[in-house]
């Protein structure tokens, strides 16, 4: 199983948390819609439950995307199954995409959905940090993949080509012990201290401390890409705009680029013009139509 990556006539399109403009992110409906839209691959974020199941959620807390509250890591998988992860979007889910109680997914369940695509498909797994379970998160994700027949040398499971991503340089370095560098993506973003404080609702001192830790991770991530320790570079679209010279240098050094989150026509055109290899978007059908 291969996804043709040699001089693509267009960037590959990855559905960000599934087709998350159409349905609630990370749900069965969002991923089934992404496949129906023709996405080349899908992206997911992974956390561990209290009983060490790898589940698909972006936030460390349940409040934004469910009717629950508190840390994901404090709940068992059985407890999470009782929550509603789709109604907040306010969109009716077609019957063929499953009941409301079937929308919450484990990593294993996403693999089963992607097997049903009937074609080669990419899976980009983001390891979310900081995690209370630290690097056990990476080990557990690899265990899940191995139990499903994952081949580390080709990073494939049946028709699925798996790549790994993280903003955490420690996560990336840990993965390099097991996963070939060509399948690992170092994510980078532009860190703004004031924005971090505002988004997290932190005071000046605490917000600055958190932002400084994030900035240190950004600088180490940039070093990893400068030194070509991994093949995949994963900057946000804002980073691409702000750091044109750095992006060009990484492109010229042979880094393969996966840029997120690219939804506007202008940003899609920018990525295509730069020769970006992969675009991650909330709207795969619209982006594919433009490309």
Q: Give the other-Cβ count within 10 Å of 51's Cβ.
A: 11
Of 16, 26, 174, 277, the catalytic one is 16
**What DSSP line would sit under 207-261, residue for residue?**
HHHHHHHHHHHHHHHHHHHHTTSSSEEEEBHHHHHHTHHHHHHHHHTT-EEEEB-
Q: Is 174 a catalytic residue?
A: no
221 vs 177: CA distance, rounded Å:
17
User: Does 129 qualify as catalytic in the annotation?
Assistant: no
Catalytically annotated residue among 26, 47, 53, 58: 58
DSSP class per residue in 77-101:
HHHHHTS-SSGGG--PPPGGG--GG
Active centre residues (catalytic): 16, 58
């Amino acid at each position: 199983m291969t996804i043709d990556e040699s001089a693509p006539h267009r960037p590959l399109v990855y559905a960000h948390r599934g087709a998350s403009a159409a349905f609630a992110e990370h749900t069965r409906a969002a991923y089934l819609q992404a496949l129906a839209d023709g996405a080349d691959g899908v992206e997911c974020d992974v956390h561990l439950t209290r009983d060490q199941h790898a589940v698909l959620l972006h936030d460390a807390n349940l409040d934004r995307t469910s009717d629950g509250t508190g840390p994901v890591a404090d709940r068992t998988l059985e407890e999470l199954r009782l929550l509603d992860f789709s109604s907040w979007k306010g969109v009716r889910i077609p019957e063929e995409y499953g009941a409301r109680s079937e929308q919450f997914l484990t990593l294993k369940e996403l693999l089963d959905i992607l097997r049903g695509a009937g074609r080669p498909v990419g899976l980009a797994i983001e390891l979310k940090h900081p995690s209370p379970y630290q690097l056990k998160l990476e080990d557990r994700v690899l265990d899940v993949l191995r139990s499903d027949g994952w081949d580390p040398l080709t990073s494939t499971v049946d028709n699925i080509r798996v790549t790994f991503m993280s903003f955490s340089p420690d996560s990336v370095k840990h993965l390099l012990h097991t996963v070939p560098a060509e399948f690992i993506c170092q994510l980078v973003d532009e860190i703004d201290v004031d924005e971090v404080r505002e988004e997290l609702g932190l005071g000046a001192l605490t917000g600055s401390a958190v932002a400084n830790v994030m900035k240190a991770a950004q600088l180490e991530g940039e070093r990893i890409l400068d030194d070509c320790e991994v093949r995949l570079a994963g900057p946000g679209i804002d980073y691409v705009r702000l750091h044109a010279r750095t992006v060009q240098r990484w492109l010229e050094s042979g880094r393969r680029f996966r840029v997120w989150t690219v939804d506007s026509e202008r940003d899609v055109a920018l990525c295509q013009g730069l020769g970006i290899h992969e675009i991650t978007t909330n709207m795969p059908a619209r982006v594919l139509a433009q490309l």
